[in-house]
Structure 1
Amino acid sequence: HAELWIVPEIQLCEICPVVLVAMSELCCPEPPREVPHYSCLDYSSGALTGDLCEDLCVAQKLVYKHCLYYDRGKKVIQADWRGQPIILKSKKEIFSSYQHLSMLEEVETQDIPETELLLMVALEVKNALGLELSNNTMGPLWTRKKGPHWKAQVASMWSLLQQEEYIYFSLLQDFSKHVLRIIGSCGHFYAVEYLTAGHAWHKTLFPLENVIGPSLTGHRSRVRAIIDIALSFLDMVQHFDNDFSHRLHLCDIKPENFAIRHDLTVVAIDVDMAFFEPKMRDILEQKCTGDEDCNFFDCFSKCNLKIRKCGAQRANNNLQVICDKIFRRWFSPNLRGPLVSLPLQLQLQKAVQECAQPGHTGATGHQRTLKSLSQLYHLLRVTQRELQGAE
């Protein structure tokens, strides 16, 4: 019989020999080891530094394994660091490709005041994220101390600050369990924890055998894990909507951009298309002749035909897109199974379908989102109890 909420697996060829990637992504060119090589040349010349450079370039405790992604200079590399898998990322493959900080050439000593450096960091954050941040919140981005390698430290920091994703991960380290943990950096490359991404072709969207173990991947264990992951997605939605100074919008929601930790926490692993509210409004508020001109990937607003301008307020939200692109796959009305009562299955399927419909702006949309969140939380927890009672 058909398994409860599990979409049948689709067979397809592998595009990369290491991982399955989206059709728009490219495999790494050969030979793929050139990025650590370039970084180590710059490290040995004193141009860059970082807390991982010694292990990468001298002690060889950070060892290249695979290239996972390459497109227009952006590289994502899997490596082993002191026996544990990590991911190395950089928006550009060569350190010299990043904008140079001209003031470093103008000073022979460490004469730049710390307050001036912090101001520059704040301006870079404002340019990247659209946020006004005070100097005392810059700790995660500026922790360098003056010393013999001070210029290399500042130059390395400046290359990292030109990568929006690094800024997001750094600023949210201490505030969110739903973003990747940064392990360290070497020049323009930064290392994050290794997690296996989801992909749209997997029958459960995420490779659960990597999370709950191959011995626990029976039908009951998979269904229980999916319910727990769905609840974590709802926690993430609430967190991104309410727990920062501005709402965080996700404009590219697909399984490939998320991963699952062993405790079944959902983690955003690619935030190139994530925007806080101020920048989201700037992106949406464009000229238009119809609503179709106001679509920005998974984020859209409405066209005001009187002034021919898109509204600055997003018309849909993170929850609606997650229900549409993730939950619909899990809670399909065409699939039935014996583990959960049929009335509860139907209620959950109906709630997901209603949640996935494009929302409304303003107070009406907000109330509708709160209602969907509350209803989904309730039904998923009831499902958890039914599954526990059946064991």
Structure 2
Amino acid sequence: MWRRLSPRRICLGIILITAVAILYAAFKASSIIIPKACTDDQTTRIFDNLCNLYQSQAVGGNLCEVICTSKSIIYEDCLFKGKGKKVIAATYNSKKIILKSRNERLEEFELLFSANDKGGFAPPEMDYDSFKSMFKSHMEALMGMKLVDSEDVLLSKMWTSPILQNDELTPGEMNSVWTLVQQSEFNYLKYFHGAQFLPDIYGSCGHFYAVEYIPSGKILDPSLLSLSEQWDSAPWPNRAKIGLSLMDLIASTETFYSEILHLCDVKPDNFGVTEDFQVKAIDIDISFFTPQMRDYLQQPDCTADEECDFFDCHGACNKSTQKCLDVRTNNNFQSVCSDILMHHHTYPGLLRNPPAEVATEITELLDKCVNPSREEKYIQTPSITKTFQRLHSLLKESLQIR
């Protein structure tokens, strides 16, 4: 016969189980390697290596002179951790800029040249026309589509210094532009330079490129605030203006070029806000035009739709063949609704606490955006739907409410 346990023994048992669970969790946590934050010494080493390459003519770019000789680009802070993209804050002509590269060292990229004993690089066994032809083929593969630009126009568009007629890039410059176009964000920023929803790009040195500094700010990314501050922060008019600009950005991704640019990593800190509440996409590494998007979605085997998702770009599974279809089932607007405009987890949602006059309809529109009707679920529709247009109009109307 079982003996009835006393309340004291039950309590001690619960405490013991809890203690074991805490110790196990602590052990598991200790085995997780947390990426180390960068240091000033590491950034100094990056600049030293870059300038050594420049002095040996192994790299080039319009910013090498101001980084390495006049030193008018002044280091402020390093903003990266571990083995991720190298991001460095600096000032140039009293303006804050961001220097970026996927890798710390030039040798970590696929290079056109092999190193020689003098610290430079031996030129490839190809003539300049062959290089231009290879460059265009490479760019078309990276962009996933045919480009209408001639070889000369394309190279001039992607290089950060003027190329005069009949001039040729030096081996160091060829090496530099080759490493730059291996970085998808650089390709978008440089090829579509001047697009309203992208930050300005100022130039490059070697494998590093410099862009406009546009922080997310506490309105769009209030992660540094307490939960109560998040809910109470930022007057509605400011958030509505940012919401409108974000929606205009989404519309631009489907109209600025012949193919839709799919944003597959949508989160507040991947967008920046200017002083006049204009939103720009400041991290578009995981973004693809439709031809590339189809390739990424179609690759895996599957048994369920979610297994075909590529970050925020959702796919669909053909259950009979157990293969992912080559179609995206959501759009950029739906991703922004679920990850930025609406409340989720610890993020309060950009459009939280709207004026009472529009609150109910805004809530309904956001819910319809994230949860389309069953008939629409597996049909990719453009972002600019009736739901999009009505929400855009409603945000404009809300700015008139006093």
Category of TM-score, reference length = shorter chain:
0.7 to 0.9
**Contact 2:103–2:109 (Cα < 8 Å) also in 1:** yes
Which ranges of structure 2 fall in alignment gaps of 5 or more residues?
Answer: 1-32, 115-120, 223-231, 343-348
Is 1:282 the counterpart of 2:295? The answer is: yes
Is 1:59 the counterpart of 2:70? The answer is: yes
Which ranges of structure 1 fall in alignment gaps of 5 or more residues?
Answer: 1-22, 208-218
Is 1:232 the counterpart of 2:242? The answer is: no
**Contact 1:185–1:191 (Cα < 8 Å) also in 2:** yes
**Contact 1:63–1:81 (Cα < 8 Å) also in 2:** yes
Q: CA deviation at 1:102?
A: 4.5
| Aligned match of 1:318 | 332
| Aligned match of 1:331 | 351
Deviation readout 1:159-217 (Å, 9 max, x if unpaired): 1111111101111113x21112100111111000111135xxx5x3347xxxxxxxxxx
| Aligned match of 2:128 | 112
| Aligned match of 2:308 | 294
What letter matches 1:375 in structure 2?
R
Give the Cα separation in 1 of the matches to 2:34 and 2:246: 25
**Contact 2:190–2:201 (Cα < 8 Å) also in 1:** yes
**Contact 1:206–1:260 (Cα < 8 Å) also in 2:** no
Larger Cα-atom Rg: 2
Give the Cα separation in 1 of the matches to 2:133 and 2:277: 39
SS of equivalent to 1:166: helix
Which residue of 132, 139, 148 maps to 1:134? 148
CA gap 1:73/1:300 in 2 versus in 1, 3 angstroms: closer
Which residue of 189, 198, 204 maps to 2:208? 189
Deviates further, 24-33 or 42-51 = 24-33
Give the Cα separation in 1 of the matches to 2:60 and 2:168: 11
| Aligned match of 1:161 | 181
CA gap 1:274/1:188 in 2 versus in 1, 3 angstroms: same
Is 1:47 the counterpart of 2:66? The answer is: no
What letter matches 2:157 in structure 1?
P
**Contact 2:315–2:327 (Cα < 8 Å) also in 1:** yes
CA gap 1:73/1:374 in 2 versus in 1, 3 angstroms: closer
| Aligned match of 1:37 | 48
What letter matches 1:242 in structure 2?
T
Give the Cα separation in 2 of the matches to 1:157 and 1:127: 16
| Aligned match of 2:105 | 94
CA gap 1:148/1:123 in 2 versus in 1, 3 angstroms: closer
Give the Cα separation in 1 of the matches to 2:261 and 2:385: 17
Deviates further, 37-46 or 342-351 = 342-351
Deviates further, 62-71 or 99-108 = 99-108
Q: CA deviation at 1:55?
A: 0.8
SS of equivalent to 2:79: strand
SS of equivalent to 1:70: coil
CA gap 1:290/1:159 in 2 versus in 1, 3 angstroms: same
Give the Cα separation in 1 of the matches to 2:35 and 2:278: 26
Deviation readout 1:76-109 (Å, 9 max, x if unpaired): 000111221110000111112222214984569x
**Contact 2:308–2:315 (Cα < 8 Å) also in 1:** yes
**Contact 1:118–1:135 (Cα < 8 Å) also in 2:** no
Matches within 5 A, 1:231-380: 231-286=244-299, 287-328=301-342, 329-332=349-352, 335=353, 340=355, 342-357=356-371, 365-366=380-381, 370-380=385-395
Give the Cα separation in 2 of the matches to 1:261 and 1:368: 24
**Contact 1:316–1:361 (Cα < 8 Å) also in 2:** no
What letter matches 1:205 in structure 2?
L
Give the Cα separation in 1 of the matches to 2:54 and 2:316: 50
Give the Cα separation in 2 of the matches to 1:289 and 1:75: 37
Deviation readout 1:35-75 (Å, 9 max, x if unpaired): 11110010111111111111111111011111011342620
Matches within 5 A, 1:138-153: 138=154, 139-142=156-159, 143-145=162-164, 150-153=170-173
Give the Cα separation in 1 of the matches to 2:104 and 2:51: 12
What letter matches 1:276 in structure 2?
F
Give the Cα separation in 1 of the matches to 2:331 and 2:35: 26
Q: TM-score, normalised by structure 1?
A: 0.79
Give the Cα separation in 1 of the matches to 2:41 and 2:350: 39
Measured on the aligned residues, the alpha-carbon RMSD in Å equals: 2.9
SS of equivalent to 1:76: strand
Give the Cα separation in 2 of the matches to 1:25 and 1:129: 31
What letter matches 1:140 in structure 2?
K
What letter matches 1:356 in structure 2?
V
SS of equivalent to 2:177: helix
CA gap 1:49/1:257 in 2 versus in 1, 3 angstroms: same
CA gap 1:281/1:25 in 2 versus in 1, 3 angstroms: farther
CA gap 1:154/1:357 in 2 versus in 1, 3 angstroms: same
Deviation readout 1:340-379 (Å, 9 max, x if unpaired): 3x23121112111211225766996527851111111111
Deviation readout 1:140-169 (Å, 9 max, x if unpaired): 214545769711111111111111111011
Is 1:28 the counterpart of 2:38? The answer is: yes
CA gap 1:349/1:183 in 2 versus in 1, 3 angstroms: same
SS of equivalent to 1:123: helix
Give the Cα separation in 1 of the matches to 2:158 and 2:283: 19
Q: CA deviation at 1:117?
A: 3.6
